[in-house]
Structure 1
């Protein structure tokens, strides 16, 4: 029986049967598909899909998130391609629509993340598995809210790139998770989702208590920590696991414990 489902951009897709061959263009969504028990259905992934690691040797690599190889994807004869509004460009999505349906997710909030898991459970006939993960994430979320209510509010800057220096701004999943931790992003009001910033203006723009240097997409080193630290009054600079702040899907479940450890470390 045909299924009519809407993705998170509101695009309606009709599936005559449950899709059996999946190409995933987003690392965190590849991990989610695996966690839903869909390893055998995944036929293509990106070079950045590193969890679980063994998929890199058992699945076809179809390029990166921003530059996919269309001929490789076509040769895999997928029934559906899973993409994301932020990770993949509009041009990529449009160019792949001639192959098969392209299911696009859009994740800014924790609620968006839960909806994505629920949607993929419906799409791939994995409702029971999806519900298990939804229950686990909701429980961990509530537990974390209890933990964090006793934590003081702090001002933070979350750097994702150097030369030029770029930070996480508003309308990002990173910003949502910072807020969840009671870390107020000094660049939240700045224009653009990942704005360029000048270090010498950091004190004027909010003077953070903490500066976070993310492990991805840029490999920050000690010299960057030293350089950034020169432009704050008193901020503690910490290297943080970027996956925990920016990967959605089931990775969020793993992130809550990590956040508790950071709070303890920063005290």
Structure 2
């Protein structure tokens, strides 16, 4: 008996890393014909797949030559790149997920699209169960440490919505939670360099969009010596590939790192 081939797009170009990681997790990596040059998860993808784009730009002629039946990207920031690809005659899907629930929904949609609904739903169920275990652990804490998450340093940009939500899930209190609800990076810019000081974070986490976080530079900012996190040496990095990609990494490794750092701060009573 002949087993029918899996349905859905057969040749996919992934303009961002989270789509690549998800297709590998679903066992659909053979459908990927091109990836972002920023891809590091999974590591093997860089050896197996041609790199055809940055974040804001791409090698249009090379992408077209790959004859993809679908190109997948993320965020309004890729609108210009998507426009070029559409004008080149390609099918393009740009997702714009911002919350944890939107990430789950996007992952589910893609799993259905590549005929891997069962595998996708099992992974999502396991991930939700892990989140529930963290929430149960956090529920027993006496105090939630205050967390300042910095996505960029010049200008200072605070946590995007899914990171803010993951901070809360991990047991922390995002000191700029109101900015986390803003979808655009420009709306999360902290204009007053002393505003984070006034919010007195117990923990500072940096993830500078691919640039190495420099805790010593943050600690040396004028007036920041009064910040509890600086006084107690609680300035840490979570790499952007683990937390700033709206896909599997943020929901697993990124959250786990947040939880360890926040739990350590809570344990030491800062």
Matched, 1:207 2:218: no
Shift of 1:20: 0.3
Shift of 1:89: 2.1
**What is the CA–CA distance in structure 2 between the aligned matches of 1:194 and 1:71, rounded to whole Å?**
35
CA contact (8 A) 2:209 2:244 kept: no
**What is the CA–CA distance in structure 1 between the aligned matches of 2:241 and 2:138, rounded to whole Å?**
20
Report the more deviating stretch, 41-50 or 257-266: 257-266
Describe how 1:59-208 pairs up with structure 2 within 5 A.
59-85=49-75, 88-98=77-87, 99-151=89-141, 152-162=143-153, 164-169=154-159, 172-190=161-179, 192-204=186-198, 206-208=199-201
Unaligned runs of 5+ in 2: 1-6
**What is the CA–CA distance in structure 2 between the aligned matches of 1:104 and 1:209, rounded to whole Å?**
37
Runs of 4+ in structure 1 off by over 6 angstroms are none
CA contact (8 A) 2:215 2:235 kept: no
CA contact (8 A) 1:160 1:217 kept: no
Shift of 1:21: 0.3
Unaligned runs of 5+ in 1: 1-16
TM-score between both structures, scaled by the size of structure 1: 0.83
User: 1:107 and 1:48, CA in 2 relative to 1: closer, same or farther beyond 3 A?
Assistant: same
Query: Helix, strand or coil for the counterpart of 1:104?
Result: strand
Q: Which has the higher helix share?
A: 2
Match for residue 27 of structure 2 among 37, 56, 67: 37
**What is the CA–CA distance in structure 1 between the aligned matches of 2:157 and 2:172, rounded to whole Å?**
14
For residue 227 of structure 1, what is the aligned residue in structure 2? Answer: 220
Matched, 1:51 2:44: no
Query: Helix, strand or coil for the counterpart of 1:203?
Result: helix
Q: Deviations over 1:151-205 (max 9, x none)?
A: 322322211222x242225x6222221222343333333574431444334333x
**RMSD of the TM alignment (CA)?**
2.3
Q: Figure out how many residues of one structure are paired with residues of the other and give that number.
A: 247
Shift of 1:232: 4.8
TM-score between both structures, scaled by the size of structure 2: 0.82
For residue 254 of structure 1, what is the aligned residue in structure 2? Answer: 253
Query: Helix, strand or coil for the counterpart of 2:42?
Result: coil
User: 1:254 and 1:158, CA in 2 relative to 1: closer, same or farther beyond 3 A?
Assistant: closer
Match for residue 238 of structure 1 among 230, 235, 238: 235
Report the more deviating stretch, 121-130 or 221-230: 221-230
